[in-house]
Amino acid sequence: MGKILVTGGAGFIGSHTCVEFLESGYPVIVLDNLSNSKQESIRRIEEITKKPIDFYLADMRDENAVRKIFTEQEIDSVVHFAGLKAVGESVEKPLEYYENNINGTFVLLKIMREFGCKKFVFSSSATVYGMNNPVPYVEDMPTSATNPYGYTKVMIEQILRDFCAADPDFRAVALRYFNPIGAHKSGLIGEDPNGIPNNLLPYIGQVAVGKLEKISVFGDDYPTPDGTGVRDYIHVVDLAKGHVCALEYADQHKGFTPINLGTGHGVSVLEMIHAYEKACGHALPYQITSRRAGDIASSYADASLAKQLLNWEAHETLETMCADSWNFMQKNPNGL
Ligand code: NAD
Ligand code: UFG
């Protein structure tokens, strides 16, 4: 059997997906430059699955390094997570974001073409629905972005669409993730951001373990049931399983297919804080502050296409998402 090259496989979503691929019997190779992760996560994937991973410490923009992997290994498909992902930082450093995310994808596609490798699964994002579409988001809505990070996702989807049109045998699935949270049940892998977290869940987790003082709730005057922002939080293990289904779909279907991976259900910031309080067993201090620039009121998926095409749907509950996140935080208060 050919192997799956997982770019960014040491990161949060990539590491969980490697576990699911290995447990489904697919051998994986990981390429990661460890710019936002640690090699320890590779060791822990091996510990969970009891299976080995060939790890390449390399940058995806390094054409020779990527060619070397394709020369040494029989690569059947590429699952592409590697990229920079902090929205605020992308506004400060647009060139770094375009350079890393777009050029990295160019190099992968170019080397895939060179070696006749035709299967690609890409980490897209619900951010491609922009500011103007009504919820729930459906895959055929127009895409747009409000920041350089979001534009890299919109642009890469377009590149994949064009690449598939030029090679009728190529297949690319763009998985539009909603808000991945939680951690593997073992507590061995999870989200381990550098510095102060930007996203809600790792922030709540660090307040829960006492590393941060209190949560700032960014606005309570949105047109939502309790006034705080609503998002479609999805357990990272559910999300990871969606990649196994997507790769099997790509095996059978040519062309470009964008698919939402979400639960189809929205949860507010206050609901999330209270769910986490139940998981960790104590109150979490929070204060209402002003809105964060660029945030929208509400984002959740129409999850029916994933069910229809991939026979995939999310199974984990808000309770298990919080419990698994808390388990990881307790076992790894200082990260991996
Ligand atoms: P992450 O930062 O944990 O993982 C990304 C990995 O890519 C890291 O291990 C990093 O070291 C690696 N990387 C970055 N640039 C690289 C390069 N040039 N060469 C090699 N490796 C490189 O992030 P994540 O949360 O696991 O996200 C994975 C993907 O999913 C990203 O593309 C992200 O944009 C997308 N996504 C994430 C979310 C989210 O909320 N976490 C939501 C939607 C989409
Ligand atoms: N929030 C707070 N306080 C915080 C952090 C967030 O109140 O400290 C609120 C936000 O205003 C929002 C919700 O919590 O209402 C979720 O915010 P996150 O930053 O966790 O997630 P976003 O939905 O803003 O963005 C995430 C990823 C993006 C991705 C997007 C869609 O960070 O990369 O989901 O997939 F594009």
Q: What does the pLDDT look like over 73-123, one tens digit per residue?
A: 999 999 999 999 999 999 999 999 999 999 999 999 999 999 999 999 999
Output the pLDDT for position 27: 97
Q: Is 315 exposed, middle or buried (0-12, 13-18, 19+ CB in 10 A)?
A: exposed
Same domain, 75 and 221: no
Counting ligands in written order, which one lies closest to the CA of residue 41?
1
Give me the number of domains the chain comprises: 2
Output the pLDDT for position 2: 83
Q: Which residues contact 108 (CB under 8 A, 6 or more apart)?
A: 7, 60, 66, 78, 80, 120
List active site positions.
Answer: 149
Same domain, 241 and 99: yes
Same domain, 271 and 175: no
Read off φ and ψ for residue 259, nearest 5 degrees: -140, 130
pLDDT exceeds cutoff 90 at 1:
no
CB atoms within 10 A of CB 283: 9
Q: Give the pLDDT mean for 293-306.
A: 97
Residue 304 Cβ inside 6 Å of ligand 2? The answer reads no
Express each pLDDT in 193-225 by its tens digit.
889 999 999 999 999 999 999 999 999 999 999
Distance 78 CA to ligand 1 centre (A): 15
Farthest CA pair distance, the chain: 56
Same domain, 284 and 149: no
Residue 171 Cβ inside 6 Å of ligand 2? The answer reads no
Express each pLDDT in 245-277 by its tens digit.
999 999 999 999 999 999 999 999 999 999 999
Express each pLDDT in 33-63 by its tens digit.
999 999 999 999 999 999 999 999 999 999 9
Cut 0.85: pTM above it: yes
CATH number at residue 240: 3.40.50.720
Same domain, 161 and 44: yes
**What is the C-alpha to C-alpha distance for residues 222 and 220, in angstroms, rounded to an integer?**
6
Residue 61 Cβ inside 6 Å of ligand 2? The answer reads no
Specify the ligand 2 atom closest to the Cα of 153. Answer: 36
| CA nearest ligand 1 atom 10, residue | 36
The domain of 325 spans 200-230+265-303+318-331
